[in-house]
Amino acid sequence: MSPKSNIHFDISERKVLLRLFDIAFVLGALYLVGIVFDFDYFKINDEHWVWAFVLAIYLTLFASIFELYNLQKASKFEIVVQNIILTSSVTVLFYLLTPFFTPELPENRLQIVYFFIAINLALFVWRYAYIVLISAPRFFKRVLLVASGRDVDNVIRSLQKSDPNYRVVGFVNTDRSALTSSENVELKQFSLANVAETVKESHISEIVVAAPQSEGITVGLYNQLISLLENGVPIREYTQVYEEITHRVPVQHVEKDFYRYFPFSRSNQNKLYLFFHRTLDLLFSIIGLLFGLLISPFIIIGNLFANRGPFFYTQTRVGRNGKHFKIYKLRSMVTDAEKHGAQFAEKKDTRVTKFGRFLRRSRFDEIPQFINVIIGDMSVIGPRPERPVFVKELSEKIPFYEIRHIVKPGVTGWAQVNAKYGSSAEDALEKLQYDLYYIKKRSLFLDISIVIKTLSTIIFFRGQ
């Protein structure tokens, strides 16, 4: 017995779909423009295949930077319109500036306008179709949750927040003593008696088990799940699904035997990877410091009139293997910011000066940290280094917090580009989940993703 098939796309499938159809629609539109308007600037043929290849690379690169592949934003047309215009504008600009791999500028400059408009229209049409069709409820993944009634809301909230097409339609309560009321009035509670019938009638795409065997997975329920698995129904464990959808490690659900859950990335010990990682650290640091020197007159003037105090400040942070080091930053707070003792920075911290707020949002305040990277205390990419007093405090509250110190801290990182502003222990837990995911999945591809997301943070002025 297998459940009635309903079409749905996983996160990775939708991102691949977006990339492929972005390229296909743009190239298709340019091909049609070439036929209808006798367009000779951009041609798609065997002789000029490199032109299309370079355009596809630029398009996917800048679409990533301008968040066209962020699935939460890809389903909101007003945000998509803005990001399409930014993507197409920068793509066309770079395309025009690389004449060795792209066509020479045409005598009739109006063709460049046609080129730009065709790219925009193609992306608008395809993305509107994606929102209307692919993001529609008919393509949602329908999930049955097997969990204790007291955990249902937290589990659902964490999964559906990260993937708008992931819908938990109901749950099987494994703990009869737990309350079964839920914040979600549309959520159904199904009986333990016949899970197979529930899967069939509700067209379930996947079953997620969020309860350990010691807490409600009876022999009868276990046998039902095994039978469904044998009949082709996907059944997965909650921590695995959570990690795949949120790109975080759910440490709050991990037991003491953490080695089962953290098979750390081989890249952490791979000498070739570490060599290239260090080489890129030095390269990015030199570029970053040169850029800092270029804008230093503006920063000095801003600090002189709007900050009124020391230009730099140093602070003790915890680095790799728990070693302490001095971090360098441009001062963004008032000079007596911690007269009442150490405290977390808040999102709208009154201690931050007006010019300091600009430095933080643009992330210019972090440029001096490239000195720490060159010295070897930090890397360009890694967990954010925290102060010893906070490390001690958070280590006592959050399990596995000190695991983040097995790699060098970074100027930017997976947590910095994904997590919200860290002003509490709860925010620190979320950032730790991202940090552990980076340590677990560390690779060149993930490093590139972080660099691209960091560029998006700077461009959209989201620094904190």
Which CATH code fits 140-246? 3.40.50.720
Separation CA 119–CA 189 (nearest Å): 48
CA R_g for the chain: 26
Q: Above 90 in pLDDT, residue 40?
A: no
pTM over the 0.85 mark: no
Tens digits of residue pLDDT in 81-123 = 999 999 999 999 999 888 778 887 777 778 888 899 999 999 9
DSSP state of 130: I
Residue 148: partners with Cβ closer than 8 Å, 6 or more residues away: 173, 174, 175, 178, 210, 211, 215, 216
Assess contact for 248 and 242: CB atoms under 8 A: yes
- Residue spans per domain, the chain: 11-134, 140-246, 266-459
Q: Report the pLDDT value the prediction gives residue 61, as an integer from 0 to 100.
A: 92
Q: Which of 20, 98, 28 is nearest to 59 (CA)?
A: 20
Q: Above 60 in pLDDT, residue 449?
A: yes
Compute how many other C-beta atoms are within 10 angstroms of the C-beta atom of residue 452.
Answer: 18
Residue 356: partners with Cβ closer than 8 Å, 6 or more residues away: 306, 307, 331, 332, 333, 365
Q: Above 50 in pLDDT, residue 1?
A: no
CB burial string 350-369: b at 16+ within 10 A, e below: ebbbebbbbbbbbbbbbbbb
**Bridge partner list, 325:** 317
What average pLDDT score do residues 432-451 get? 90
Would you list the DSSP string of 278-297? HHHHHHHHHHHHHHHHHHHH
Q: Which of 211, 157, 147 is nearest to 179 (CA)?
A: 147
Tens digits of residue pLDDT in 299-351 = 899 888 888 778 888 999 999 999 999 999 998 877 766 655 566 666 666 67
Separation CA 168–CA 327 (nearest Å): 45
Of 36 and 282, the one with more pLDDT = 282
Give the three-state DSSP class for 235: strand
Q: Which of 60, 45, 27, 42 is nearest to 96 (CA)?
A: 42
